């Protein structure tokens, strides 16, 4: 059994983050009222009329019974934005990503842009300062850092403050006291995947309780080839750890399994540039 990532328990609470409602509160973004899904409107009504039920449930279970990940995506991601009244929006596709990718609504770049390219730098400085100055009533900044970005289509990168203390704090925006948990939602999970993968091998050939230290994903194919009696290609980067076996197997080699040269040139199809743009926006390529 092999996985390219593992699993770990969290040492503290983790959250989903929703910046667009915060931008709406700041007057930087506007939603179309008619775009709130009927299901969400009903849940908003229940939450407003019977808040004590919601509070009791949250106290007992640790998360809001009304707001779930699916509902939040319905409320914020799938709602239609009034672009003619929006200057900034959160472009991050996943609410649990702690580093948020924010874009200005630039004319010529965005479909319904309202900020001219000539005003971009000035507006960017104003918005970075405005967001940097947001603090809770107790003086905690809502962002650990916020800075201009150089990625294509992304103008600001900000990292959310994920401390447990800030979740129970309040913001003062335009004279109104607003709980931070309007924009943070506790994840009803005790852990998440981690970057380090794992592998578990079982069978009569393997030593019992032998730990596989520093195993690489490159080692998987050579090991499988060896178990089935096939030679390992000399151009493979992985290797077989003989110490895993009760009786070290015979390891055979061949020069390569490649029968023809592969071109490293990227094809220039019509859709390739669109794919590259998306990958750059996500930060996978530069």
Largest CA distance in the chain: 76
| pLDDT top residue among 68 and 254 | 254
CA 161 centroid distance within chain: 15
CA 122 centroid distance within chain: 29
| pLDDT top residue among 183 and 68 | 183
- Check whether 84 has a pLDDT greater than 70: yes
The structure's pTM equals 0.55
- Name the residue among 147, 155, 152, 113 with its Cα closest to residue 131: 147
Give the mean model confidence (pLDDT) for residues 83-111: 87
- Check whether 176 has a pLDDT greater than 70: yes
* Highest mean pLDDT, choosing among 10-14, 67-71, 130-134, 277-281: 130-134
Q: How many C-beta neighbours within 10 Å does residue 205 have?
A: 14
- Name the residue among 186, 183, 87, 180 with its Cα closest to residue 138: 180
Q: By mean pLDDT, which of 54-58, 133-137, 274-278 is the weakest?
A: 54-58
Tell me the pLDDT tens digit for each residue of 151-173: 888 999 998 887 878 888 999 98
| pLDDT top residue among 193 and 85 | 85
Q: Which residue is associated with the tokens 């490649």?
A: 258
What's the Cα-to-Cα distance from 205 to each of 42, 139, 202, 241, 277, rounded to whole Å? 60, 61, 8, 13, 48
Give the mean model confidence (pLDDT) for residues 69-80: 48
Which residues lie below 8 Å from residue 252, measured CB to CB, with a gap of 6+? 230, 231, 232
Domain ranges of the chain: 16-188, 201-254
Edge-to-edge order in the sheet of strand 88-90: 88-90, 99-104, 156-160, 143-148
């Amino acid at each position: 059994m092999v996985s390219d990532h593992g699993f770990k328990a969290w040492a503290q609470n983790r959250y989903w983050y929703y910046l667009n409602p915060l931008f709406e509160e700041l007057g930087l973004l506007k939603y179309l009222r008619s775009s709130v899904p009927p299901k969400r409107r009903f849940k908003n009504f229940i939450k407003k009329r019977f808040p004590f039920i919601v509070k009791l449930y949250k106290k007992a279970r640790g998360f809001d019974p009304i707001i779930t990940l699916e509902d939040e995506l319905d409320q914020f991601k799938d709602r239609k934005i009034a672009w003619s009244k929006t200057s900034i929006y959160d472009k991050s596709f996943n609410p649990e990503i702690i580093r948020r990718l924010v874009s200005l609504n630039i004319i010529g770049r965005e479909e319904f842009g309202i900020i001219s390219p000539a005003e971009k730098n000035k507006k960017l400085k104003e918005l970075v300062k405005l967001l940097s100055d947001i603090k809770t009533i107790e003086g905690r900044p809502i962002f650990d850092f916020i800075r201009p970005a150089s990625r294509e289509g992304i103008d600001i990168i900000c990292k959310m403050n994920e401390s447990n203390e800030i979740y129970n704090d309040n913001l003062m925006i335009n004279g109104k006291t607003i709980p931070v948990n309007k924009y943070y939602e506790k994840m009803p999970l005790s852990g998440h995947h981690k970057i380090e993968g794992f592998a578990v091998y079982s069978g009569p050939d393997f030593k019992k309780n032998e730990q596989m230290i520093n195993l690489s994903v490159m080692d998987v194919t050579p090991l499988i080839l060896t178990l089935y009696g096939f030679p390992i290609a000399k151009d493979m980067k992985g290797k077989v750890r003989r110490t895993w076996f009760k009786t070290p197997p015979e390891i055979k080699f061949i020069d390569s399994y490649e029968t023809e040269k592969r071109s490293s040139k990227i094809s220039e199809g019509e859709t390739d540039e669109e794919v590259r743009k998306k990958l750059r926006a996500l930060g996978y390529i530069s």
